[in-house]
Amino acid sequence: MKKNRKNLALLLLAASLLAGCAGQSNSQSSQSSQAKSEKKAESKASSKSAAKSAASSAVSSTKSSSSQASSKSAASSSQRADANRMGTLTSQLRVKLPGMLLPAADGLGQGSSNLNIRYTSSSSQNVVYYSVGNSPLALNDSRIANEKPYAVLTEKKNVADASSLINYQEPKTGLPAVKIASNVTGTEEGAAGSTYLQFNQGQWSFVVRASNVQGQKPLPTAQKLLALYQQYGLPDTAAKSSVQVDVGESLGSLNTVITWAKGSSVYQLKAHSMETAFKMLKSLK
């Protein structure tokens, strides 16, 4: 009887131990399952966040590309509008002044959208005034006369003696030589408070005047003038022709004066800057 009780007690103890191990196993399994669930949730959240970030980046990139494309398109449209304004006014001028050589380019770096043109015409000459106003006006609008022209193109017709109007300067000797470029040398002389630097190329004489009173030097302007001539060239001329430049550029100054002969006409372009003058003459037709 005692032996049976002892065996029963041992059986109960073994059952208790087995139950404890099973509980612990179930607990560990539960914890493992919970950890896996949490990792899975974290992974899903991370994937969603990455996808959201990528989508946001793509949208931002698309907006940026769209903005850049819009800006380029606007700039291109503006440039076309500026070019069309010069083209439109020049087409109207050709009807009013048949046979006169006219530039197709306005020569401006900015302000083309407000380009204005007026002209006068007689049996002996045509004069065209180019200016930039506060707003675009019709060809020959009376209000344009109040604007300072940045360029003036004149055609004197049926000229008997072109040389008297052109003021070509023959190369000078016996004066100090000044090197303008590696293969171009000019001469320099002083007179009446000014210094004149001259060089000649083909049918053209180039003279740059600098004011001694204002402390100006002619060489830098002469070097720029030569570079522009080499880049853009000058109109074909039927006679020896001239370029005269006063140092210093400002709106309305018209310090660059280019005069040449074409057929029986003598043309002269005055401009507020050398570069503007050369750009306009490059497009002359």
Q: pLDDT for 249-274, tens place per residue?
A: 877 899 999 999 999 999 999 999 99
What does residue 148 show for φ and ψ, rounded to 5 degrees? -75, 125
* Cα–Cα distance measured from residue 115 to residue 83, given in angstroms and rounded to the nearest whole number: 10
Report which residue type is found at 108: L
Quickly tell me which residue has 């037709």 as its tokens.
285
Q: For the chain, list residues with pLDDT below 70.
A: 1-83
Residue 252's pLDDT is what?
83
Residue 196's pLDDT is what?
98
Instruction: Indicate the pTM of the whole model.
Output: 0.73
Residue 228's pLDDT is what?
98
Residue 238's pLDDT is what?
79
* Cα–Cα distance measured from residue 155 to residue 99, given in angstroms and rounded to the nearest whole number: 10
Quickly tell me which residue has 């002996």 as its tokens.
124
* Cα–Cα distance measured from residue 79 to residue 93, given in angstroms and rounded to the nearest whole number: 21
